[in-house]
Amino acid sequence: MSTSRFTRALIRSAKVTWREQPTRYDIEALQANIERVGLVIRVRWAIVALLALFSAVSVSVYSLQFPWEELLTNMRVPALAVVFVVAYNAYYHLTYRRLGNIAFLNHAQLLFDVLVTGVLVYYSGGVASWFYALYLLFILEAAFILPRARDTWLVAAFCAITYGVVLFGELWGLLPHVVVPFTDEALRTDAVYVTVRFMWQVAMFGGAAMVATLMTVALSSREAHIAASAIIDEKTGLYERGYFMRALGSEIMRAERDDRSLYVAIVDIDGFGAFNDLFGIDMGDALLAELGSAFNESLEKCGEAMTFETNFVARFGGEEFAILLSEGCSGGPPDDDDALHVAEAVRAAAERTLVKGVGVTVSVGVAGFPRQGQTADGLLTAADEALYHAVEAGGNRVVMAA
């Protein structure tokens, strides 16, 4: 692989979304990563505040038996480490929405935290330090904010490495020992104690990683199940209105940024109330399900370049369906011909759909961004007005918004 290709591959792996024309899913992934970075920043401020409070209280207590000068000397480097945390957290706080597309931003913050914790452990007694508990906190944090379970285990391994460097560095004389009040100085040179203490902490790190990943996997599975239940219409198997509105908002953002067009169509079943009165609600539900399948098939047949990532049909409510068209039948942004072609295919599919030998027709109103509407509400209003004209003209037809 050439240097330029390697560089491009590295950049792609480093970013949440890197395509010139990112899809709705790219945008959602980017927004999710920005939210995770923001969560890390808020947690970091809370930890810094707790550290500052602990330091103030502990120094006040220690000063009852030890000179202030000695305490302040011991605290200089830890204080600088905390200032470093404040500095990079403040930088992230100011820029994380702009830098949120950097995939490993959360990883970098956690690695910095682990290194700073290593400094705090070293300057607070090494093997006798209480600050090892911060490692467990960061492992739990990693499980909740990093995208993959293996990342949590990598953070746990890095915690074990930094902790081991401090403990065995002092044991083997590679690091000068820092004298801290109320610690047993003999412990740091006892190889058996240091080894057992290190092994115990590694076991705790692994246990924290295991419990945290199992819990987050279970929570993620449950959330995915709930999300799937919330976005899928039970009667038709199509996406429901809420998902359609979120997708439409994301696609409008993409269209604005890339100067693209997109279209929405609202499909209404002609005389559906009379159909239910005549044949019953169960027959009406069966018809809705058949129409949903027929509309999906029609959308799929409109062009090889069209995909369900960017073009899909949803049940909008009652007897209404909505179609989002973000890609044209031949690839690239859609145009009026693509929108009318899809709408006509859906109308014709409804005309062919029968339940126990009985069928209905549909009317379709179409509106395009940005010509007929520049917001989700504007587009839907324009499409609804076009649908009204289609129904007033007798139904079973497609009308493009003026």
Q: What value does the mean pLDDT take over residues 75-96?
A: 87
Give residue 305's pLDDT band: very low, low, confident or very high (50, 70, 90): very low
Q: What pLDDT, in 10s, does the model give residues 159-216?
A: 999 999 999 999 999 999 888 777 777 888 899 999 999 999 999 999 999 999 998 8
Cα-based distances in Å from 56 to 60, 128, 256: 6, 20, 51
Evaluated on CA atoms 139, 140, 141, 144, the torsion sign reads positive
**What is the per-residue pLDDT for 146?**
83
| Other beta carbons within 10 Å of 258 | 11
Domains and CATH numbers, the chain: 14-230 (no CATH), 241-400 (3.30.70.270)
5-43 pLDDT tens trace: 667 666 666 666 555 555 555 666 677 777 877 887 888
52-58, long-range: CB < 8 A, 24+ apart: 52/82, 55/79, 55/82
What's the first-to-final CA gap in the chain, in angstroms? 53
Higher-scoring residue by pLDDT: 304, 290: 290
- Directed axis angle between helix 105-122 and helix 133-145, to 10°? 180
For residues 66, 71, 74 and 75, what is the CA-based torsion angle, rounded to 10 degrees? Answer: 150
Q: Under a CB-based contact definition with an 8 Å cutoff, are residues 297 and 349 in contact?
A: yes
Amino acid, res. 65? Q
How many Cβ atoms from other residues are within 10 Å of residue 59's Cβ? 15
pLDDT at 306: 46
Q: What is the mean pLDDT of residues 375-402?
A: 93
Q: Do 339 and 265 form a contact (C-beta atoms < 8 A)? A: yes
In this prediction, residue 1 has a pLDDT band, given cuts at 50, 70 and 90, of: very low
What share of residues in the chain are helix, strand, coil (percent, to 5)?
A: 65, 10, 25
Which pair of tokens denotes residue 202? 């590694």
Greater confidence, 329 or 377? Answer: 377
Distance (Å, whole) CA 18 – CA 103: 11
Give pLDDT, residue 5. Answer: 66
Give me the mean pLDDT over the 361-388 stretch: 93
328 pLDDT tier (thresholds 50, 70, 90): confident
Pick the residue with more confidence: 102 or 377?
A: 377
Mean per-residue pLDDT over the chain, rounded: 85
Tokens 């949440």 map to which residue? Answer: 16
